[in-house]
Amino acid sequence: MIKKITTIILTVLFATDISNSQITIDLAGPKKTTESIDLLKGKSITLINMLANRDDNSYVTSVDLKEEEIPPISTSELSASKKRPTCPDSYTLAYRNLYNTKKEESISGMVESLKKEIKKLGPESMACAIEGNQLIKNTSEVIDLNFNLRNNQTITITILRITGNDTTQWTRIYKTPTKSPWSVMYGFSFIPNMMNPVNNYFSKADTSGKSYTVTKLNNQKNTFLKNVSPTIMVTWKPVTKYTWKSGGGANNLKSLFSNNFYQFGLVGGFSLNFASDVANANVLIGPSIIFCENLSISVGVAATQKDVLKGQYKEGDVIKDNLDFSQLHDKKYMAEWFVSVSFRFSSNPFKKADSSEDSKSADK
């Protein structure tokens, strides 16, 4: 029982914990690989199966990401001159094999052999167990990265081992997912006459019939659906989606603002209003909320054209000519609120069909 308890304590104290490392490079593997990886939450890489008996500068690691480099590895040297404790022969053999090997490909098996020998040790060999676990720990190292990974990046990690005149190099190339935060959506925008309300006028004939009075039109209600415009929206989704997490704190806050059901974004759009004889162009910008990638609801400010009374006239002016609507009004761009509902289609639903295709379908 004492032997088992001692083994558990030593394992907890000295076993290498690399579970949090997001990039693990096995030096026993190929000298060069290229892999695709997901975006990482951690900020480190882990080297495993390193030579246990090495100089401080035996391994040099560099990471290439927009000219950012990882500083050289600083390793602790296990002093060979230090007097070793007296240990069982089988343990000593496993220890020396791992200590003296010059091949990364052999380290994984030697580490397992040394672990098995450590489990066999009794309380009287605690110093041997401490020494063995320290040697195993020396075969891996965690290196902090000074950047966070994002979409559309290529990360090249280079490790150099310099032993005397011998130089060995490993190269790992990782590619993060290729993804654009932009999407094009199509829908309709509603622009009510609320931010800068205007009135329209007409020429009302006097009783004599020889003059006219500039008079405000009746029943100028703020009809919400009057200014409905087909819209093309360019949507920017800067916040990556997350699954909903429990536990409170930052996790819930992150999930509140972006999760697998909805996420927030910013839209810029262009619409055409066909309410009048001449189509009026509107430019829109504002925040949006996107549901399941395909439905967007946006609110914001639009630059829209409005018919306003010309400057030389005012309500109640008496004029000699019977002026029509266009003669009384000018079109001016003004700021106005908008509400937009957009959908993500595979193609533009507002685009007219090709006439050649129409004729072919008609022939059929």
* Pair 229, 329 in one domain: yes
Boundary-marking domain end, from 138, 154, 175? 175
Same domain, yes or no: 202 and 169: no
Task: Please list the ranges in the chain whose pLDDT falls under 50.
Answer: 6, 8-21, 41, 66-81, 359, 361-362, 364
273 and 301: one domain? yes
Residue 137 has a pLDDT of: 92
Are 158 and 186 in the same domain? no
Tens digits of residue pLDDT in 144-177: 887 777 778 888 999 998 887 888 999 999 988 8
Scored b (16 or more CB within 10 A) or e, 134-164 reads ebbebbbbbbebeeebeeebebebbbbbeee
Domain assignment present for residue 362? The answer is no
User: Residue 123 in 3-state DSSP?
Assistant: helix
Domain count, the chain: 2
> Which residue shows structure tokens 């990046």?
153
- Do residues 245 and 169 both lie within one domain? no
Q: How many helices (H) and strands (E) does the chain have?
A: 7, 16
Provide the strand spans (E) within 191-294: 201-205, 212-216, 228-236, 262-273, 280-291
Q: Which domain holds residue 194?
A: 182-346
What would the pLDDT profile of 342-351 be if each residue is shown by its tens digit?
998 877 776 7
- Which residues on adjacent β-strands are paired with residue 354? none
CA distance 182 to 185: 10
pTM exceeding 0.85: no
- The reported pLDDT for the residue numbered 70 is 36
pLDDT in tens, 186-234: 999 998 888 888 888 999 998 777 889 998 888 776 665 667 888 999 9
